[in-house]
Structure 1
Amino acid sequence: MLTPYLLRAPAPTADGLRLFCFHHAGGSAAAFATWQRGLGPRAEVLPVQLPGREGRLSEPRATDMTRLVDELVRELGDLFRPPFAFYGHSMGALLAYAVAQRLRDRGAALPTLLAVGAYPAPDRPGLMTDVPRMAADDLAALLVRIGGMSEMLLDYPEWRDAAIDLVRDDLRVCHSYRHVPDAPLPTPITAFVGDRDPLMTPDDATPWAGHTTSGFELQPIPGGHFFLRDSAPVLLGALRRSLAAAGARRGVAHAAPGERD
């Protein structure tokens, strides 16, 4: 039976890699709509759809990281069979890391690669922590400025407010996260950061290196906070290479290392 957290059921025979993708705050699984074509047949792209958006619009949105991780592991745990990997963007990066931590704590299989984009390391201050105190107009202006909301929505107050409410709830998930120093994950981590991201710098992403014992790579990508949209070919090319390198460490052939952007 298909879980509501996935748009479609995974292929019944998973000889290749499953790449679970976690979207940003205010976003949806649609952020990864072109990734299957971009990554090719060696990886099965499985965007994770959180409640309260698109086809799950009528469902209550998550606002607590621990509860959301519990739900994701319960719903998707049987599908986390090697080889698999995680990519998370912004809020999704922190969520992917928290899910990997939970799997490790349960003695379950871990992802071949944890790829995180546009979010500081979990022991660093999170993003947009002042949002709970921001007026709707100010938050809307900020979202437009960083590329997280279309300027057209400003002309439609009802839609604008709905988008703002979604962002506020998603950020509650991030802000509910409390980092507890723990052993690093035995999983390689690649951290992607936009070279013009107004919310963070490479220095905020570099400490991700302390959360793995299996290799770390910092990958600057042209663009701002939403480089996954603005520089998709560059990002997907870099991700293919990271997946290939991680697979080679474990003897898993799931990405073509000779592929070019």
Structure 2
Amino acid sequence: MTGTTGETWATDETWFPPCRPVSAPPLVLDADAVQLFCLPHAGAGASAYRDWPDALAPGIEVIPVQLPGRESRHREPARRSAAELVGELTGPLASRAGPDYALFGHSMGALLSYELAHALSALGKPPRHLFVSGLGGPHLPFVGPLLHEKTDAELITAVAAMEGTSAEVLAVPELVELLLPLLRADLTVWETYEPRPRASLRVPVPITALGGRQDPGVGLDRLGAWQELTSAGFRAEVFDGGHFYHHDAPDEVAAVVRRTLLEPSPVR
């Protein structure tokens, strides 16, 4: 694909690694399957979506995104700004995406998905739909403590309270030593994000915002504020659970994605 300044981008497969076991039988996808690029939350990698390809096939092809600094890219330094990550990922994603694709991001991944929707729309290749999960509208004033500035002990306590990292992992010092720098870098991405000017907040893409009813950091008012960031349709879907509600309700979340992308008249 050629960008607006004439540069040619090659697909970078490091961004889109296979996340299903090699021993698993190949997925059978519809010829017109919608691509769904999935971006992970802070501290996580592409494997956060390892169960999604089977759950959403054959109508949807799930393509997890692997960000630098984790899993198969653990030798690379983690990035510390949304602008840097989006700048690096826009080209490979634009090249990998077909004519019919959507974006899904949870927490930090939701922020990156929103900025990618802007960048890809500017290239004349907007996604069909944007799913943002576990994050309030990024144009709202930041609330809460700056976790990336906390001590290691304080950060571990905060992570444990979110219930997104198993107690078994947090009990192993060697794993915590590997996790903390990545988590701190990812939290910096979110906590130092500078919202767009008001005139350029909206994307020409329908948005579905998903969240947990008991998420202490993302109230329903902040989740609903995503409506202000689209010039197309909007819908909010709320589930029982906390910040990682989708771990407890995978079938319900998959049903929302499937209904939105595969029904004859998705939200517009």
The TM-score normalised by the length of structure 1 is 0.87
Question: Deviation at 1:195?
Answer: 0.9
Shift, 1:189, TM fit:
0.3
Is 1:115 aligned to 2:131, yes or no? yes
**Partner in structure 1 of residue 222 of structure 2:** 204
Equivalence for 2:13: 3
| Alignment-derived partner of residue 166 in structure 2 | 150
Kindly state the Cα deviation for residue 129 of structure 1 after the two structures are TM-superposed.
4.8
Task: Give the distance between the partners of 1:86 and 1:23, measured in 2 at CA.
Answer: 11
Q: Could you report, residue by residue, the CA deviation over 1:45-92 in whole angstroms, capped at 9, with x for unpaired residues? A: 000010111111111111111111111012221122321000000000
Unmatched tracts of structure 2, length 5 or more:
1-10, 20-27
Taking a change above 3 Å as real, the CA distance of residues 70 and 129 of structure 1, as seen in their structure-2 partners, is farther
Contact 2:204 2:231 in 1 (8 A): yes
Identity %: 33
- Give the RMSD, CA atoms, in angstroms: 2.4
Q: Compared with structure 1, are the counterparts of its residues 36 and 128 closer, same or farther at alpha carbon in structure 2 (3 Å cutoff)?
A: farther
Q: Secondary structure at the match of 1:192?
A: strand
AA of the residue aligned to 1:221 = F
Q: How far 1:187 sits from its partner (Å)?
A: 0.9
Gap runs ≥5 in structure 1: 252-261
Q: 1:55: which partner in 2? A: 72
State the AA in 2 paired with 1:236: A
In the alignment, the residues of structure 2 paired with residue 27 and residue 120 of structure 1 have an alpha-carbon distance, to the nearest angstrom, of: 19
Q: How does 1:1-261 map to 2 (within 5 A)?
A: 3-8=13-18, 15-106=32-123, 108-126=124-142, 129-180=145-196, 181=198, 182=200, 184-245=202-263, 248=265
Question: 1:122–1:159: structure 2 CA closer, same or farther, 3 Å change rule?
Answer: same
Size of the aligned set, in residue pairs, is: 249
Does the 8 A contact of 2:30 with 2:58 survive in 1? no
User: Which position in structure 2 is the counterpart of 1:258?
Assistant: none
Task: Please say which of residues 172-181 and 201-210 is displaced more in the overlay.
Answer: 172-181
Q: Distance in 2 between matches of 1:4 and 1:126?
A: 32
Query: Which residue is 2:5 aligned to?
Result: none
In 2, Cα distance between equivalents of 1:140 and 1:110: 38
Q: Distance in 2 between matches of 1:195 and 1:110?
A: 30
Tell me how far apart the structure 2 counterparts of residues 53 and 158 of structure 1 sit (CA, whole Å): 15
Alignment deviations for residues 174-213 of structure 1 (CA, whole Å, 9 cap, x no partner): 2332112215212110000101112211111111001112
Give the 3-state SS of the residue equivalent to 2:242 in structure 1: coil
Contact 1:136 1:161 in 2 (8 A): no
Distance 2:72 2:13 in 1: 13
Which shows bigger deviation, 65-74 or 174-183? 174-183
